[in-house]
């Protein structure tokens, strides 16, 4: 139903020219066009970061929540009205740093929400500190002598939690990312798309260049998306070759499927004008 | 007025909680009034638990200090509580486990040794049913119709599945009753209480009343993380989730809990979260999110003694100023502190209306004493309650709006709220924004939105009557308090009344917005103003001073983790006033 | 140096008789005896839960922190004085629920702290709600109609984060658990021991019985502890057979190893009476 | 006294911050005084940034409202700031990018069109060095010795690695200087400022002063999560981690940050954490943990406008009452609010001593304006400072103690603290405990420990002088304020002085414990008491009323995210007083 233009706001994004976030926004809008999403029935929920500004620039409902908290908000919106199309976005700091707990628990819960992480391996909005996915040794404002920790591996974590849809995209390959987002939305269940997103201002290491030279597509390499062990091996491939695409997919009941409370109609449609509690009062008499 | 108090004490894991509930309920079900309170350490087994039930043939609002019958399941219970026993009071104890002599306790105390465990097992029950033997025995002591106990046990365990369990429990209790009749005939009727004209009343704890208030208000989403003393809301609501179509979600932590409640509310569903101090600390950031996005939110904060984990299973009123000031930045909120189970119900219901009418966070502030004590109240008048969703748009209305401004700078500060799927789209943002909800750092937008949000508060102030008054207008003593101290204070007033002292009690129900004008007017000319609070720093007194500039003459404070008894209050007041006269 | 008795406090634990926590405490004390830990140089840090009471009943230094927060406290203690022997303990709710974020980040950081999780698949101290490791369908006070989520898999998460020592013990097999703890302490780096700990009061499903019938020891089954992929497969074995023992071990530099600040002496030993900041003042002139 | 103000405005990413710093520093290095403040949106590129530098030959404490020289890198900068330009002021702009005419601005304004970018690239630099051209040009306008600029640029970029960069920057600037000399000879010397007798002074922002205070205090562990405007502490300290052997840890979130600081402190290392409002919200639970375990802790709370994320890069004083009341339960804490960079240094140093002497949490409360503005101050007198670790045990002392009670109920409330590896073992517990630190829920232990903790507060109250006074004792006007408003107030007082109005300024440095007695005494007899706060609800005024019962006559509040200027204050005061007289 919506055209790309209808989804486009009058205000232009304030991201740095060349930032990978532009590609992600474009891909999201194209995917929404492709799946015929009604803008009024679509909610984009964000955390805080450069990535977190995204909902401002797409003509749907939006909720710009707190740093690291997009997922709890998004899940509750979906549970309250499962006819909505709910998409959560956020940064790597947002989702894998301060939001790590929600991330893991959302995956095991399997509410039908899509999670697109702008993984630029840096804290962008706070002007360049190390992020949970920054590479070891990386020098940033907060690690001027080089980062000591090993990065987290969001794909491996998702597999360890049996997330029902685990994928990685690249902000520099919009058509591919569009496909992934469409697949994710069509998938019934929680979907993670970790997107490699160059931050042209603060990440001098993981540039577009860097990724162009390294990435290859899983779907072109005969990868079996139903095999968790192989997906797990692939998750650790990082260096000369970096896989993108769908790592793993599994059909699982969604959380909503198991709620008799909403099997007839969404929570939001249920009347509350005059809830009869006489039975409850009786219980206490 | 006749009354008595009964206490059962023993180790955790002895089933004391259920026994206490059965005991009190049996009297309520037959037309009397009961009030109970329990005490237990933060352990699962061992440690010392007690459950106190006060029974009266007239309305009562709290427990009292003296115990007429002590059921001691351990020797420790005797040692700990012998001094609380009233003159000629009774100790029921398991003579096969330990012995008690009058030398150890007091001469006037009547000892009632019973082979509790033996009777339980011999009459077909398990050892743990020894409590029922004691309950039966207690019924004999107060000479109350055993059939009321039968009714209650059937009510609690009954139903198809529980039939057998109920039967065994009743049998066991009856043996206890008979044992006293047979062996201690002289004790019969020494405590007199008899059934009155029957009236249907509820026997309910604060948390259950809150849960009912929420259900009646149309709460459809409750997200929480377990934390004493708020957990029983989670338990109760989840047990009803399918009957009332409520999504009850135990989350990974309190941060997720409050964000989920906000998400649900944004989606248009009435939602609530509940916790205690530590969890509330974790929620403070999101309180501001609700405020800035103007998403309605109800948070129950059931207090327990802090700081930090403090005394997790005890009671205190130490979080008042924290609740009022929690979260960075400045925004209007409502803090309401119910004083009894009745107010728990009605004020929780109101909280949902206020939250939606003003699109702000509302904090319902209780404490362990209120949250977990049963009291006897009239059935809630549920029919008369009206849901008010304020400026929430209907789909039809949404269609008519041109150029929708979610954060329109209106005269009341409240603006139309649409929900996803409606035509009037907007973005809720944690950053400051313009009237449309678009991020803005312009000075003018900032001032407009700050003023808009605070304007609601003005309207609110004029709409809410935050104070309730009890007692005499020309009183000698004016007690000022808030929250769960209400019950013990009302009881203390009965004692004063007997002594012919006139007392007035000002209950501050709404702490924010603070009822400044009314408070000023009320206390300006009073003498002997006394603050009573279950905390160390007299937080209400400091709020009164902050808002009215007035000092309170005396402060009676208790911060040992235990609730006041009416006698405590009476004595302390007497003491400060006598001292003042010297 | 210390004897078992020296480590034993006068106060007796208040855990329920038969609770798996008793076994864990015994095993920990035995392990400390075995490695000759000096009590004054040992710190046991706990979160909140039945498990969290443990430090009260062992004669060492102790820090009973907040619910879910044992790890940040423990790591900082170790960094401040790396000559200490620092052991963190906590429950499954504590560590894998509210503390999930710290758990993942501690593993990637690899501070030389040992983490023993009392995994009873239930919230004990709060009287029986579902925990992150509770099995799907489990009926508890908070899930009276059955738990909907899939449990988290701490072993798999640890592997996904390349935790340098990943093991599972059983509270009902103290000698085996002692061995694991000793190995963990001797290992240089962060070590996870997830301990299956029956809660006799609230978990009617995962009883001692339940585990006795199912567990087998990895070390007796020719498991290769250097192979992450196989360990990952093993991590998902749960049902008729449940593996215990060491899943995976890897030599990695610890966080402390990479800090020049403490290469000469622990932070705590460095004098602070008279720090000379004249150089810094100069910088601003 | 001669002075001028200079402002550079353009898009984020134009290198405005560095240019502003260079400009101010060049004057300070040659004996003058400078003060700067910046303004930028929460975006990385685009948006409008400004940097304002005020230069004077006498001490100054804030920026001022009027701008004498505007360097406009974009047309937007002209539009936004033309009204701030003083009579006969200047606009330097890049004539190759846009044009400005007197009709658009004002007739009296002197336009200085310069091909900034062209000059930059032609003289061997990149386009981004256009700022340097403008700086050079500005030096020519105020006719200041160009060599001072050379020194400064060498100082900032210099060293072996930066030699070439420095050279290019200097060349580019020199071209700007020459361009003005050549093309606008009539403008030379129209603003007069000249070097004074040289004295060594620091040009430093609040966060750097805090960092230096912490290093001097022996802080060895700083754990934090990035958050504007606290982040620069993290950046500064991590840049010095190897020079001063400090472990600087960026954590996964603020919860971990504060718990790490507590862990380090428990282990015996002086530690600190720093954050802004949202992060502080997340830290509230652990504040109580520090309090109950009596673990010393220093927390820097750099405020920004809330609620919620609010305006992340702007300034406000909205978290005062939150800082005072944060966390569940009741416990003593110290809240100190430095008013300038000098106090940032000394009070941070003191904070460590207080935290250890009293074994409590200390909150250092600043805001974006103070945290990020440079001011010119005398070099810190670092030698005279004394570390006081209070009752921290030495290994020797620990050996002598028999029956060690960590939480001994002493007369001062403070008790001996041992650290791991010492012989005196104990457990720190988040639950209430007895004197040994063993968990206890006994009423007596509870009361003892609560009283013990609060007893410290009494001692503290008597030790800390929380108020500083400036100006005349027999003043016509008494200004009361706290924190970063100090600078603009001191400047406003200069304006009043010129008009012959006597003003007294009461700065509340310690907000907790509140200096009640002194405040009461001070303001009792004053007329025209005026509160000045960078917030909406006049939080200090409400604290004053809470503690003293006294009302403040007038409130001047600003909550648009921007700091006060001296002129704002002067005019507002003038306004309220005039109005009052009507
Ligand atoms: C509780 C809290 N802590 C810190 C911040 C400051 N903050 C804003 S964005 C951000 C991190 C940004 O990094 P990331 O999530 O990777 O997003 P990006 O900007 O890179 O897209 C931080 C730490 C905040 N807003 N809230
Ligand atoms: C912030 C916070 N939320 C909630 C609680 C209440 N609480 C205490 S222990 C506990 C969970 C206990 O479960 P687990 O961690 O598995 O430990 P166990 O008792 O089973 O050993 C909870 C939720 C708390 N103390 N703090
Ligand atoms: S700072 Fe980085 S992530 Fe942020 S907008 Fe600029 S390029 Fe993108
Ligand atoms: S409740 Fe469960 S975990 Fe807690 S002590 Fe009892 S058996 Fe152990
Ligand atoms: Mg990022
Ligand atoms: Mg558990």
Query: What's the complex ipTM?
Result: 0.98
pLDDT tens digit sequence for B480-528:
999 999 999 999 999 999 999 999 999 999 999 999 999 999 999 888 9
Q: Write out residues 358-417 of D within 8 Å (CB-CB) of B.
A: none
Cα(A131) to ligand 1 centroid in Å equals 10
- Helix, strand, coil content of chain A in percent (nearest 5): 40, 15, 45
Total number of domains in chain C = 1
Cα(B41) to ligand 4 centroid in Å equals 14
Q: How confident is the model at residue D190 (pLDDT cuts 50, 70, 90)?
A: confident
- B43 reaches C (C-beta below 8 A): yes
Q: Is C120 in the pocket of ligand 4 (CB under 6 A)?
A: yes
- With beta carbons less than 8 A apart as the criterion, state whether D283 and D231 touch: no
Q: Three-class SS of residue D514?
A: coil
Residues of D in contact with A127 (CB under 8 A): 44, 231
**Are the Cβ atoms of A160 and C159 closer than 8 angstroms?**
yes
Tokens describing residue C111: 């501070």
* Atom from ligand 3 closest to the CA of residue A49: 4
Homologous superfamily of D3-192? Pyruvate-ferredoxin oxidoreductase, PFOR, domain III (3.40.920.10)
Tokens describing residue A52: 């977190």
**Can you tell me the distance from the alpha carbon of D427 to that of D422, in angstroms, rounded to the nearest whole number?**
13
Domains D204-378 and D467-581 share a fold: yes
Q: Is the pLDDT of residue C1 over 80?
A: no
- With beta carbons less than 8 A apart as the criterion, state whether C63 and C55 touch: yes
Residue given tokens 């974020």 in the structure block: C101
Task: Please state whether the peptide bond connecting residue D513 to the residue before it is cis, i.e. omega within 30 degrees of 0.
Answer: yes
Percent with pLDDT over 90 in chain C? 99
Q: How confident is the model at residue B400 (pLDDT cuts 50, 70, 90)?
A: very high
Write out the residue range of the structural domain in which residue C49 sits. 4-283
pLDDT tens digit sequence for D40-81:
998 888 889 999 999 999 999 999 999 999 999 999 999 999
pLDDT tens digit sequence for C60-118:
999 999 999 999 999 999 999 999 999 999 999 999 999 999 999 999 999 999 999 99
pLDDT tens digit sequence for C214-267:
999 999 999 999 999 999 999 999 999 999 999 999 999 999 999 999 999 999
CATH architecture assigned to B467-581: 3-Layer(aba) Sandwich (3.40)
Q: How many residues does chain B have?
A: 582
**Can you tell me the distance from the alpha carbon of C6 to that of D73, in angstroms, rounded to the nearest whole number?**
74
Sorted by sequence, the CB contacts under 8 Å of residue A193 that are 6+ apart come out as: A114, A115, A116, A117, A167, A168, A169, A177, A180, A181, A184
Ligand nearest to the CA of residue C207, numbered in listed order: 4
- With beta carbons less than 8 A apart as the criterion, state whether A156 and A248 touch: no
Q: In this predicted structure, what is the pLDDT of residue B189?
A: 76
| Residue C214, domain CATH | 3.40.50.970
User: Of all protein residues, whose CA lies closest to atom 4 belonging to ligand 2?
Assistant: B227
Q: Is the pLDDT of residue A10 over 70?
A: yes
Q: In this predicted structure, what is the pLDDT of residue D195?
A: 80
* C-chain residue closest to B309, CA distance: C66
β-sheet bridge partners, residue C217:
C244
Percent with pLDDT over 70 in chain C? 100
Residues of B in contact with C68 (CB under 8 A): 253
- B281 reaches C (C-beta below 8 A): no
Summarize the confidence of residues A1-18 as an average pLDDT. 94
Of A100, A125, A141, the CB nearest to D235: A141
User: Of all protein residues, whose CA lies closest to atom 6 belonging to ligand 1?
Assistant: D227
Q: Which long-range contacts (CB under 8 A, 24 or more apart) does D415-419 make?
A: D415/D294, D415/D359, D415/D391, D415/D452, D416/D391, D417/D294, D417/D359, D417/D390, D417/D391, D417/D392, D417/D393, D418/D393, D419/C268, D419/D266, D419/D267, D419/D268, D419/D392, D419/D393
Q: Determine the distance in angstroms separating the CA of B382 from the nearest CA of chain A, rounded to an integer.
A: 7
- A129 reaches D (C-beta below 8 A): yes
Q: Is the pLDDT of residue D35 over 70?
A: yes
Determine if residue D515 is left, alpha or beta; phi over 0 gives left, psi from -120 to 50 gives alpha, anything else beta. beta
Q: In this predicted structure, what is the pLDDT of residue D140?
A: 94
pLDDT tens digit sequence for B142-180:
999 999 999 999 988 877 778 888 999 999 999 999 999
Cα(A127) to ligand 1 centroid in Å equals 10
**Are the Cβ atoms of A201 and D13 closer than 8 angstroms?**
yes
pLDDT tens digit sequence for D443-477:
999 999 999 999 999 999 999 999 999 998 889 99
Q: Is the pLDDT of residue D384 over 70?
A: yes
Q: In this predicted structure, what is the pLDDT of residue B582?
A: 65
Higher pLDDT, D11 or D512: D512
**Are the Cβ atoms of A130 and D250 closer than 8 angstroms?**
yes
* Atom from ligand 2 closest to the CA of residue B226: 23
**Are the Cβ atoms of A50 and D46 closer than 8 angstroms?**
no
**What ranges in D43-158 are assigned the alpha helix state H?**
75-81, 116-122, 130-141, 146-157
Summarize the confidence of residues B273-285 as an average pLDDT. 98
Chain A neighbours, 3+ Cβ pairs < 8 A: B, C, D
**Can you tell me the distance from the alpha carbon of B142 to that of B193, in angstroms, rounded to the nearest whole number?**
6
Q: How confident is the model at residue B318 (pLDDT cuts 50, 70, 90)?
A: very high
What is the residue extent of each domain of chain B? 3-192, 204-378, 395-463, 467-581
As a whole number of Å, the CA-based R_g of chain D is: 26
Q: In this predicted structure, what is the pLDDT of residue B344?
A: 98
Q: Report chain B's terminal Cα–Cα distance, integer Å.
A: 35
Of B306, B319, B549, the CB nearest to D551: B549
* Atom from ligand 1 closest to the CA of residue D309: 25
Percent with pLDDT over 70 in chain D? 100
pLDDT tens digit sequence for A93-144:
999 999 999 999 999 999 999 999 999 999 999 999 999 999 999 999 999 9
Of A64, A74, A261, the CB nearest to B241: A261
**Can you tell me the distance from the alpha carbon of B516 to that of B528, in angstroms, rounded to the nearest whole number?**
19
**Can you tell me the distance from the alpha carbon of B4 to that of B57, in angstroms, rounded to the nearest whole number?**
10
Cα(A40) to ligand 1 centroid in Å equals 28
Q: In this predicted structure, what is the pLDDT of residue D381?
A: 97
Q: Write out residues 332-391 of D within 8 Å (CB-CB) of C.
A: 379-380, 382, 387
The CATH number, out of the four listed (3.40.30.10, 3.40.50.620, 3.40.50.970, 3.30.390.50), of the domain defined by the range B204-378: 3.40.50.970
**Are the Cβ atoms of B281 and D285 closer than 8 angstroms?**
yes
Closest CA to A139 of D250, C108, D205: D250
Q: In this predicted structure, what is the pLDDT of residue B23?
A: 96
Q: Is the pLDDT of residue D582 over 70?
A: no
pLDDT tens digit sequence for A131-173:
999 999 999 999 999 999 999 999 999 999 999 999 999 999 9
Sorted by sequence, the CB contacts under 8 Å of residue B575 that are 6+ apart come out as: none
User: Of all protein residues, whose CA lies closest to atom 2 belonging to ligand 4?
Assistant: C199
User: Of all protein residues, whose CA lies closest to atom 8 belonging to ligand 4?
Assistant: C19
Of B208, B216, B255, the CB nearest to A275: B216
**Are the Cβ atoms of C16 and B42 closer than 8 angstroms?**
no
Tokens describing residue D244: 């001063």
Beta strand B221-224 with B271-275: parallel, antiparallel or unpaired?
parallel
Residue given tokens 């879910």 in the structure block: C68
Q: In this predicted structure, what is the pLDDT of residue D15?
A: 85
| pTM (whole model) above 0.90 | yes
What mean pLDDT, rounded, does chain D reach? 95
CA–CA distances in Å: residue B315 to residues A258, B276, B371, D272: 38, 11, 10, 33
Q: In this predicted structure, what is the pLDDT of residue D516?
A: 97
- C98 reaches A (C-beta below 8 A): yes
User: Of all protein residues, whose CA lies closest to atom 7 belonging to ligand 2?
Assistant: B227
């Amino acid at each position: 139903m919506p055209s790309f233009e209808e989804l486009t706001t009058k205000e232009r994004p304030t991201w740095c020219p060349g930032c990978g976030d532009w590609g992600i926004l474009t891909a999201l809008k194209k995917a929404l066009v492709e799946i015929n999403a009604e803008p009024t029935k679509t909610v984009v929920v964000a955390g805080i970061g450069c990535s977190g500004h995204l909902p401002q620039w797409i003509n749907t409902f939006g909720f710009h929540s707190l740093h690291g908290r997009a997922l709890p908000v998004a899940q509750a919106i979906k549970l309250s009205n499962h006819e909505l199309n709910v998409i959560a976005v956020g940064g790597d700091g947002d989702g894998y740093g301060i939001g790590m707990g929600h991330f893991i628990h959302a995956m095991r819960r399997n509410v039908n929400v899509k999670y697109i992480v702008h993984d630029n391996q840096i804290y962008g909005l706070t002007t360049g500190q190390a992020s949970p996915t920054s590479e070891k040794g990386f020098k940033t404002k907060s690690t001027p002598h080089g980062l000591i920790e090993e990065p987290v591996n969001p794909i491996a974590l998702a597999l360890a939690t049996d997330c029902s849809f685990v994928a990685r995209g690249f902000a520099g390959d919009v058509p591919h990312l569009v496909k992934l987002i469409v697949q994710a939305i069509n998938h019934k269940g929680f979907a993670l798309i970790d997107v490699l997103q160059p931050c042209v201002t603060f990440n001098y290491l993981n540039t577009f260049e860097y990724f162009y030279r390294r990435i290859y597509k899983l779907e072109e390499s005969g990868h079996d998306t139903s095999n968790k062990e192989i997906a797990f091996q692939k998750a650790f491939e990082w260096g000369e070759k970096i896989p993108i695409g769908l790592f793993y997919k599994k059909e699982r009941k969604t959380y909503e499927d198991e709620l008799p409370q909403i099997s007839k109609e969404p929570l939001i449609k249920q009347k509350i004008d005059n809830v009869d509690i006489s039975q409850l009062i009786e219980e206490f008499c | 007025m006749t009354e008595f108090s009964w206490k059962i004490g023993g180790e955790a894991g002895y089933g004391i909680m259920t026994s206490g509930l059965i005991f009190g309920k049996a009297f309520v079900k037959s037309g009397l009034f009961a009030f109970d309170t329990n005490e237990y350490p933060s352990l699962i087994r061992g440690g010392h638990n007690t459950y106190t039930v006060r029974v009266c043939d007239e309305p009562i609002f709290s427990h009292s200090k003296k115990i007429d019958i002590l059921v001691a399941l351990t020797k420790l219970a005797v040692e700990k509580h012998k001094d609380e026993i009233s003159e000629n009071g009774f100790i029921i104890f398991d003579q096969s486990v330990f012995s008690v002599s009058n030398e150890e306790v007091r001469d006037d105390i009547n000892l009632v040794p019973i082979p509790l465990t033996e009777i339980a097992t011999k009459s077909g029950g398990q050892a743990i049913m020894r409590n029922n033997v004691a309950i039966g025995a207690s019924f004999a002591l107060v000479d109350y119709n055993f059939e009321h106990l039968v009714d209650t046990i059937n009510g609690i365990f009954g139903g198809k599945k529980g039939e057998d369990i109920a039967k065994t429990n009743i049998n066991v209790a009856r043996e206890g009753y008979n044992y006293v009749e047979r062996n201690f005939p002289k004790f019969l009727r020494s405590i007199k209480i008899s059934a009155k004209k029957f009236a249907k009343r509820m026997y309910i704890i604060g948390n259950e009343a809150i849960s009912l208030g929420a259900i009646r208000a149309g709460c459809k989403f409750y997200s929480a993380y377990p934390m004493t003393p708020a957990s029983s809301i989670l338990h109760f609501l989840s047990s009803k989730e399918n009957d009332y179509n409520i999504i009850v979600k135990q989350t990974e932590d309190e941060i997720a809990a409050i964000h989920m409640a906000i998400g649900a509310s944004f989606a248009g569903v009435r939602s609530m979260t509940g916790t205690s101090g530590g969890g509330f600390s974790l929620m403070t950031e999101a309180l501001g999110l609700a405020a800035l996005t103007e998403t309605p939110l109800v948070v129950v904060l059931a207090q327990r003694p802090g700081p930090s984990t403090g005394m997790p299973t005890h009671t205190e009123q130490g979080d008042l100023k924290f609740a009022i000031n929690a979260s960075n930045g400045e925004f209007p909120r409502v803090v309401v502190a119910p004083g009894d189970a009745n107010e728990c119900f009605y004020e929780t219901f109101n909280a949902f209306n206020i939250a939606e009418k003003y699109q702000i966070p509302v904090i319902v502030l209780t404490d362990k004493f209120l949250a977990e004590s049963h009291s006897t109240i009239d059935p809630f008048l549920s029919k008369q309650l009206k849901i008010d969703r304020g400026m929430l748009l209907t789909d039809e209305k949404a269609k008519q709006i041109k150029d929708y401004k979610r954060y329109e700078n209106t005269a009341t500060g409240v603006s139309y709220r649409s929900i996803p799927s409606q035509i009037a789209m907007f973005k809720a943002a944690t950053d400051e924004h313009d009237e449309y909800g678009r991020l803005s750092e312009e000075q003018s937008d900032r001032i407009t939105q700050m003023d808009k949000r605070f304007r609601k508060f003005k309207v609110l102030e004029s709409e809410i009557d935050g104070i309730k008054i009890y007692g005499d207008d020309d009183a000698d003593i004016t007690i000022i308090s808030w929250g769960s101290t209400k019950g013990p204070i009302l009881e203390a007033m009965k004692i004063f009344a007997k002594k012919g002292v006139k007392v007035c009690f000002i209950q501050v129900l709404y702490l924010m917005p603070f009822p400044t004008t009314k408070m000023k007017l009320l206390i300006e000319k009073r003498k002997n103003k006394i603050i009573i609070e279950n905390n160390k720093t007299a937080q209400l007194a400091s709020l009164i001073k902050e808002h009215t500039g007035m000092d309170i003459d005396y402060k009676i404070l208790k911060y040992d983790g235990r609730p006041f008894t009416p006698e405590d209050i009476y004595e302390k007041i007497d003491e400060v006033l006598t001292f003042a006269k010297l």
